[in-house]
Amino acid sequence: MTRTIEHPLGWRDIAAVAAGEDLALSSPAWGRVETARRIVEALVERGIRAYGITTGVGALSDTVVDRKAQSALSRNIVLSHACGVGPLLERREVRGILAAQIANFAHGSSGVRPEVVRHLLALLAEDCIPDVPSKGSAGYLTHNAHTALVLIGEGKATIGGERVSGRAALASIGLEPLVLVAKEGLSLVNGTACATGLSSVALARAERLLDWADAIAALTLEAAGAQMAAFDQAALSLRPSPGIEKVGARLRIRLAGSQRIAAALGRRTQDALSLRAVPHAHGAAWDCFEAAGRIVDQELASVTDNPALAGTPEQPQVWSQAHAVAPALGQAADGLAIALAQLAAISERRTDRLVNPLISGLPPFLASEAGSQSGFMIAQYTAAALVNENRRLAAPAALDGGLTSALQEDFLAHPTAAATKLLSILDNAEHVLAIELMAATQAQDLLAPTEAPAPGTRILRDLVRSHVDLYADDRPLGDDIATLRTLIATQAPTT
């Protein structure tokens, strides 16, 4: 499938391209790109003072650059800004950044030549993935510069499973390196494409994780003999929240017809909060997810280049502003990070209730032969460790300080840092939920067969058992965790 830019894309479009779909521009979008380029050429021709076009950048914004040096300025911006460090971003993440950057150029306020956009589209179409180090961006500059390196024949990229030079990567897809002209270097490193692309990927992963979290919680609730009165529609409606309503309905549907739930009726006056508060914790995460999605869509609908262009070549307009700064985006990623960290925390607490012989009513640590086997004792340790790491990662990036460019950039919103740590929290949360899924399935298998599970949980149990067998301390448990984490990350829960 091909996503075509005519009107602004949404985060789901960016996530789809990140996952492998193609991207194209409509005729009106190409027209906007071409008009913006002619505006830049008019500014250059008339010698109109414009940031990053006829001047230097950052603290050098008052330094005029003559026409002969403008191409060198563009190339030098890319080379000097490509100073990221650390492990490389994954293929999906780089594709998301490229897609968001193309979407920003398609607004028609950046002024790059159509050739630049065509080169970026070719990288996506041929799955040519530039090397982009994951660390070193206080806002957006370094990540974007590393994608731009390949366009000028520098840097490295992976294509067809082989890592090659940027020049060789372009040659393999029939392209020559670009010789950048006025403003193109600045536009290629500028804007919020990095944070927006990464946030779009994170949203897609978060949505799948939330779907799984609701399903896994139902499996655990049944194994624990939960009191379903806490999830009655009338009771939950006393606290208005789309997320709470959604999760409550899902639990009722998933657990409908459960003899195990029916047999547990009245066994306790109320359950522990890790069971009783599933709609509240999961529902809050769903509400944060929806809010974050609206912010990312707002970002994709926005021009995030500086300077921004408008008007016509005859009457050009150019504005130096701060649209490349994205406090809302950083705050949205931080908020979702906190919500998912809390989602993982309540999952670990439910896992503990399943494996803890003091409260579970099940064999200690869900071991087939307690004493000679440890069962899921240490798997719960792993979940606890990941939850603790998430707690540290959930500290807000948007509040980080930093002064750059000789006080010219004396306020930083850190949306890229917020997005990258959100992705790290997702990594941990997927593993934590995988551990709960593994434990809840084991608990289901250890329950008396005389009480039938709900059809909605039986199908989950069967799906898990098609990937991993009942555990009897007969293999490394980490392999099972990895298998179920992959299941959670790549497949929707069976309904």
Answer whether 445's CB lies under 8 Å from 469's CB.
Answer: no
Count of helices and strands (H, E) across the chain: 19, 9
Contacts of 122 (CB under 8 A, 6+ apart): 128, 173, 175
Question: Would you call 406 helix, strand, or coil by DSSP?
Answer: coil
Answer whether 179's CB lies under 8 Å from 173's CB.
Answer: no
Q: What's phi and psi for 277, nearest 5 deg?
A: -95, 15
Active site includes 140?
A: no
**Helix extents (H) in 139-241:** 141-151, 166-172, 184-189, 193-223, 233-236
- DSSP assignment, residue 230? G
The single residue of 51, 140, 381, 471 carrying the catalytic annotation is 51
Answer whether 303's CB lies under 8 Å from 173's CB.
Answer: no
Answer whether 70's CB lies under 8 Å from 47's CB.
Answer: no
Helix (H) or strand (E) holding 3: strand 2-5
Which residue reads 């996506």 in tokens? 124
Exposure class string for 179-190: b at 16+ Cβ within 10 A, else e: ebbbbbbbbbbb
Active site residues: 51
